[in-house]
Amino acid sequence: MKAFKAIKAFKLVLFIIWGILVFVFKDKIAEHSEEHFRLAILVACLMFAYSVFDIVDMVEKKKTFAAHTSFFNCLIQIVFGVIILADPLIRGNYATVCIIWAVWSICREGQELAEDLERFKEHIPAYLNVIESIIVLVLSFMLIANPHPEHAELHLILLGFELILGVLFPHVDYFFIKKHEAKKLAEKQKEEVEIADEQ
């Protein structure tokens, strides 16, 4: 449908611009100040954006309420984002925001690693995804252990890459998936020819 294509195009442009802005203003975002809540706003917006686009993807695939989807997890993340912005005790506490961001990242990357393992079972390469997920997990644990601006800034650098590459990876994935499907089809046709020759 045209609406879903338009949303995907909007996501592509939005995340690339967002990633560039994170790179440019990472020091300002990571800055610790009781007067500014830039990191809290960023984390809440990330939860909103990822959750909304995930829900749109589920609706497009008509799998919104399927058992293996994370529809209700997305709704919970949206509510969590609202709480971060609405509660001054949370948004004003730098360490709490860092820990929430880190735990959320760990949950997302854990799910992505599980999906990557499924891809490996299908012999579809996912090495870059796995490397990215491992790096995010390591930085997230570092951020939990030491929720300070220097670690937050490292996480922001990776976030910039993640925002940009995250919307570009599907196009790379599409190439690998099509290549894998073509290989399987060729193997199947070869088996059929061999069976026909034996008969």
Q: Are 158 and 136 in contact (CB under 8 A)?
A: yes
When comparing pLDDT for 127 and 139, which is higher?
139
Q: Is the pLDDT of residue 61 over 70?
A: yes
Which amino acid is residue 196, in one-letter code?
A
Rounded-to-integer distance, Cα 78 and Cα 7, Å: 19
Rounded-to-integer distance, Cα 149 and Cα 140, Å: 13
Q: Is the pLDDT of residue 11 over 60?
A: yes
Q: Are 144 and 113 in contact (CB under 8 A)?
A: no
Rounded-to-integer distance, Cα 139 and Cα 121, Å: 27
In this structure, of 119-123, 133-137, 152-156, the range with the lowest mean pLDDT score is 119-123
Q: Is the pLDDT of residue 35 over 80?
A: no
CA atoms within 13 A on the CB side of 61: 13
Q: Return the domain boundaries, the chain.
A: 2-170
Average pLDDT over residues 3-21: 87
Average pLDDT over residues 92-110: 87
